[in-house]
Chains A and B, each alone.
Chain A
């Protein structure tokens, strides 16, 4: 009998192919939009990670206490050794050193006199190491308005608005005026290789980006850095894993009474991101639930209509002596079969699409050219997560079966003769 019914499903495209296509589309949309929503919200967090907090960050204890003041006199020393030990202990993370610094940018004229000055918010990153991904991580190349990424020492990128304000052109020289980590005056000239706009007001105002080795020389921080940032190789922040890494690292120094001993913080512990992350998680759950609910209603109706459309066939089967219970069970069995097939196909396509969107993303930079006040990623990315494996089954299988169950209740509720009349049998 099952074989007979299965034959019917295969031959009747409106019972097999059509609902499978509808379910597949519904499940693909559910999985991909859930992944996209999670990816978008996660990307907003990632912006903080890339520019500021890392997935974890190592500082000296004293630096950490005053980090908003960028106290490079309290920076870590011996960072190359520390980096090697971190890379060895946590090989699933990529470790980078950064120096954030403040100071004044002076623009000299042909005679060497100052023709303009402005406060700088500087960031030194590893631009020249062959395996460094810092420039890519900060999306520098794509954020350039003019010029190019520094290719040799003594070059810098400055914020586009800052450059316009100071009437700077590519190739012009600027002078950094600040203090070294030892509190002495520091002067260093740089040539402007490019101007940049990240699309984030806080980042663009007075931005100066130079290579880490230039900063170390300029600030007299040989083998030193204000911050060591760790990023998961997957590129995705995992709070539980970050907590384990943090606990394991800090365990080494818990007994130390050195004020300059390194201390690690995970992303969630910095910049009050804990509350923001919890909010993002709650919003993400609510939005995904709303979408899954809406898609469930659509597929519920598909199941309902599919069942109602077959009352004619049920009438014939009743007349031939099939019991109502048997018809009802076969209807549910078919719904499970169709729902499962559609959900599996939809989930596979949805997961593949989500994976593609996670790896390649969708470049929206063209639409975000004028977005200067929002911290939004210019590339829309999805995020694969374990719940995406089963989330499509909620509308695809559960709603489909419930829809069929509801339509099938009519078989029981109606008197057989009434059902026959309705069936026009």
Chain B
């Protein structure tokens, strides 16, 4: 039995809207284990991104408890939540969000600079990470010279370079064509298998759903269904 690395217990998140409040998450209970390739799916406004933000320590619950890598998100200060993201979490965004003035190599290297790794360690890790996504030869290119698919692969390399336990991907294929989307998803799936990294998606893209091993359906801030999908379906 694999350990739980994400535990969400009775989490409610409310946002002030005008003079009232909007409930984005309503008493959500859920756990994710190490090595899962799972997705939070649902229509717009269902609370997917809010849940992903809380798991990513970008936000904290109004009520309930969210524990990620043994850390209670509500109890973390700015510095500790940054440390949690730096050491244990990787992010992949809908837009690739690469820093345009830095090369592909430097974009990937940035996360390691925050960990005070040596030059040699950084170089080895960055090149290894770029090789995983098939961009070893593009290390010195600027993001503006990359195609959409290549840009998203750099984003994956950047998320993976520090070998995080969890990668949070918010609509990662939304800006990609079908061929690139499948290539990216296959890459992530391979990394999930080889490195045992937990991938957690927020999506309503059918292509992504086709690769997921588990789908948590959210609707109006509540878990409607927690669905385990047979492995063969995604092969």
Contacts and interface: CB of A to CB of B under 8 A. Distances in A.
Interface string A383-425: 0000000000000000000000000000010011100100011
B97 A321 contact: no
Contacts of A312: 97
A110 interface: no
A415 B59 contact: yes
Interface stretch (B30-38, B98-106, B197-205, B219-227): B98-106
Contacts of A326: 82, 114
Interface size class for chain A? 20 to 34
Contacts of B79: 323, 325
A320 B158 contact: yes
A193 to B, nearest CB: 71
A7 B91 contact: no
Interface string A317-361: 111111111100000000000000000000000000000000000
B217 interface: no
A339 to B, nearest CB: 20
Interface string A1-45: 100100110011000000000000000000000000000000000
B87 interface: yes
Given A8-B101, A11-B101, A325-B78, A319 B110 contact: no
A80 interface: no
Contacts of A318: 58, 82, 85
A316 B99 CA distance: 8
A320 B114 CA distance: 8
A328 to B, nearest CB: 10
A412 B111 CA distance: 21
A315 B85 CA distance: 13
B81 A416 contact: yes
Given A8-B99, A11-B101, A319-B91, A420 B114 contact: no
Contact of A324 (B78, B89, B101): B78
A323 B101 contact: no
Nearest to B89: A321
Contacts of A321: 82-87, 89, 111, 114
A320 B106 contact: no
A7 B93 contact: no
Contacts of A319: 56, 58, 85, 91, 93, 97
A320 B112 CA distance: 9
Given A1-B113, A325-B79, A416-B81, A424 B95 contact: yes
Interface centre among B59, B85, B101 (most CB of A within 10 A): B101
Interface in B32-82: 50, 53, 56-59, 78-79, 81-82
B99 A420 contact: no
B114 A12 contact: no
Given A4-B110, A415-B59, A320 B91 contact: yes
A34 B95 CA distance: 49
A223 interface: no
A415 B114 CA distance: 22
A16 to B, nearest CB: 10
A313 interface: yes
Contact of B97 (A4, A7, A316, A323): A316
Given A12-B101, A318-B82, A420-B58, A1 B53 contact: no
B86 A320 contact: yes
A417 B59 CA distance: 5
Contacts of A323: 78-79, 82-83
Contacts of A313: 99
Contact of A1 (B78, B95, B97, B114): B114
Contacts of A1: 113-114
Contacts of B82: 318, 321-324, 326
Contacts of B87: 321
B101 A416 contact: no
Contacts of B114: 1, 320-322, 326
Interface centre among A12, A313, A417 (most CB of B within 10 A): A417
A12 B142 CA distance: 12
Interface centre among A317, A319, A322, A326 (most CB of B within 10 A): A319
Given A319-B56, A319-B58, 17 more contacts: A4-B109, A7-B102, A7-B106, A11-B102, A312-B97, A315-B97, A318-B58, A320-B114, A321-B84, A321-B89, A321-B114, A322-B114, A323-B78, A323-B83, A325-B78, A417-B59, A420-B58
24 contacts: A1-B114, A4-B110, A7-B106, A8-B101, A11-B102, A313-B99, A316-B99, A317-B110, A319-B58, A319-B93, A321-B82, A321-B83, A322-B82, A322-B86, A322-B114, A323-B78, A323-B83, A324-B78, A325-B78, A325-B79, A417-B50, A417-B58, A420-B53, A420-B58
Interface of A: 1, 4, 7-8, 11-12, 312-313, 315-326, 412, 415-417, 420, 424-425
Interface of B: 50, 53, 56-59, 78-79, 81-87, 89, 91, 93, 95, 97-102, 106, 109-111, 113-114, 158
